[in-house]
Amino acid sequence: MSKILIIEDEENLARFVELELKHEGYSVDIKLDGRSGLEAAITTDYDVILLDLMLPELNGLEVARRVREVKNTPIVMMTARDSVIDRVSGLDHGADDYIVKPFAIEELLARVRALLRRINIEDENSNGKTTQTIVRYRDLAVEKENRIVHRGDEVINLTKREYDLLLLLMENIDKVMSRSLLLETVWGADSKVETNVVDVYVRYIRNKIDKEGTENSYIQTVRGTGYVMRSK
């Protein structure tokens, strides 16, 4: 049974949507503010999250952003404001879809079904004849066999060296990797390049994977030593 989380402070609307979703056979939880919604979204594995934009405690954009740091749960943003800016920023913050209030319940159900179908297709693909090993860190996912890097739904294009360097760091979470070790592993033991090439490549990767305005980079610098990706 698919599990759906509704984060919505208009209780009547939340109850109405809950009733309709339960009628369709889904299991449903409701949270009435952003903070408790975020906590539920992180601690429980939901298949879809329906997220209101204007919420007490923590707004919908912030909830989406923080969920995305740790999970890929599909998010449908429910917004009363039908402006392009809101849609764009909702999608930028990690929402997969949006629906404008007031909406017809059939439309919402159709969106939910579409997102669930997409997850099932992804599952089937990953159970196909080529098994994909997926390495994850926050909202980054690396498909090792395909050599593809995703952040949420977005594919991030990396060069071969950038990819090798990122994967090496992601497979050694919490281990501080020295510049010389990174250089030796990615460029080869007898390579003639200087260790500062590692810094240059880390900067290239950061430019591609870090979100604009993010103060904590995915890859952290350990001064005088090298780099690390930390689990916390």
Residue ranges in contact with Ca ion by CB under 5 A: 9, 52, 54
Residue 116 C-beta: closest distance to Ca ion, Å: 24
Question: Which residue, 18 or 52, has its beta carbon nearer to Ca ion?
Answer: 52
Residue 133 C-beta: closest distance to Ca ion, Å: 41
Question: Which residue, 9 or 143, has its beta carbon nearer to Ca ion?
Answer: 9
Q: Which amino acid is at 85?
A: I
Question: Which residue, 52 or 97, has its beta carbon nearer to Ca ion?
Answer: 52
Residue 91 C-beta: closest distance to Ca ion, Å: 19
Residue 41 C-beta: closest distance to Ca ion, Å: 16
**Quick check: 163 and 148 in contact, CB under 8 A?**
no
Residue 99 C-beta: closest distance to Ca ion, Å: 13
Return all residues near 197 (Cβ < 8 A) that are at least 6 apart: 183, 187
Q: What is the DSSP string of the chain?
A: --EEEEE-S-HHHHHHHHHHHHHTT-EEEEESSHHHHHHHHHHS--SEEEEESS-SSS-HHHHHHHHHHH----EEEEES---HHHHHHHHHTT-SEEEESS--HHHHHHHHHHHHHHHHHHHHHHTSSSPPPEEEETTEEEETTTTEEEETTEEEP--HHHHHHHHHHHTTTTPPEEHHHHHHHHH-TT----THHHHHHHHHHHHHHSPTT-SS-SSEEETTTEEE----
Residue 114 C-beta: closest distance to Ca ion, Å: 24
Question: Which residue, 63 or 182, has its beta carbon nearer to Ca ion?
Answer: 63
Question: Which residue, 12 or 130, has its beta carbon nearer to Ca ion?
Answer: 12
By Cβ distance, which residue is nearest to Ca ion? 54
Question: Which residue, 9 or 184, has its beta carbon nearer to Ca ion?
Answer: 9
